[in-house]
Amino acid sequence: MKLKFIYVDTPFWRAEVGRIALFMGDIKFDDVRIKREDFSTAKETGTLSDGTVLPFHQIPCLVVDGISIAQTGAIARFCGKQSGLYPTNDDVKAAKIDEFIDFATDLTVMVSSTRNETDESERIKVRRDLSKGPIKRKLSMLEKNIINNSEWLVTSNISVADVAIWRLLGWLSSGILDGMPTDLLSSFPKIRKLCLAVDKHPKIQKWISLTYPNNYTRGNY
């Protein structure tokens, strides 16, 4: 099977959840990091300059033997099944993993809407308010849903759910988004513990050393 993973050159969770699953499963794939200009055109046309089709004019996109697959969740499940980071014979556990992927999507949509605010002080205000209100509320729910007796969210080994939550919350707490406080996770000990566990996983560390810029702020957990 020939795999080509398409995203821009940034470790956003939507891409990392699939890329890291493949990497952890020692599955060979072509890690294609497209230029912003190529992506800008493809948003309009649905096709990259090399002819690759982006089904919904969005990234990430995974091309499997020439067939383009879109949508973060679909890609995460596919990559997770190939690599052992998503169950293939336990529908309940699979659904519980889906919950966390969809949770990551909900938070992403909430935060991404603030990118349209071009007035800097207004954007900062909106993000501060979000962090103290709706995001804090969501994080409290996540904290409640982390069960104490396991290192990982759903399965006995790391799954795509853990990878998604780690990178999502790394992004949100890293300081990269002006107005979003870097102590966002300070009152959520279980979330911080989970993020630290993912971050120190040897395969994750290997991936970071291979693909992240030096001294990249992965988050504050």
Ligand X SMILES: N[C@@H](CCC(=O)N[C@@H](CS)C(=O)NCC(=O)O)C(=O)O
Cα angle 166-169-173, degrees, rounded to a multiple of 5: 130
- Tokens 């707490």 locate to 173
- Total chain residues near ligand X (CB under 6 A): 9
Q: How far is the CB of 38 from ligand X (least distance, A)?
A: 12
Question: Phi, psi (5° rounding) for residue 118?
Answer: -85, -20
Question: Rounded to 5, what percent of the chain is helix, strand, coil?
Answer: 55, 10, 35
Which one, 57 or 123, has the nearer CB to ligand X?
57
Which residues inside 41-100 make contact with ligand X, applying CB under 6 A? 43, 57-60, 71-72
Position closest to ligand X via CB: 58
Is 172 a binding residue for ligand X by CB under 6 A? The answer is: no
14 near ligand X, rule: CB under 6 A? yes
Is 192 one of the binding residues for ligand X (CB under 6 A)? no
Nearer to ligand X, 104 or 201 (CB): 104
Query: Pick from 176, 218, 214: which is nearest to 20 by CA?
Result: 218
Cα 158 to chain center, whole Å? 14
List residues near ligand X by CB under 6 A.
Answer: 12, 14, 43, 57-60, 71-72
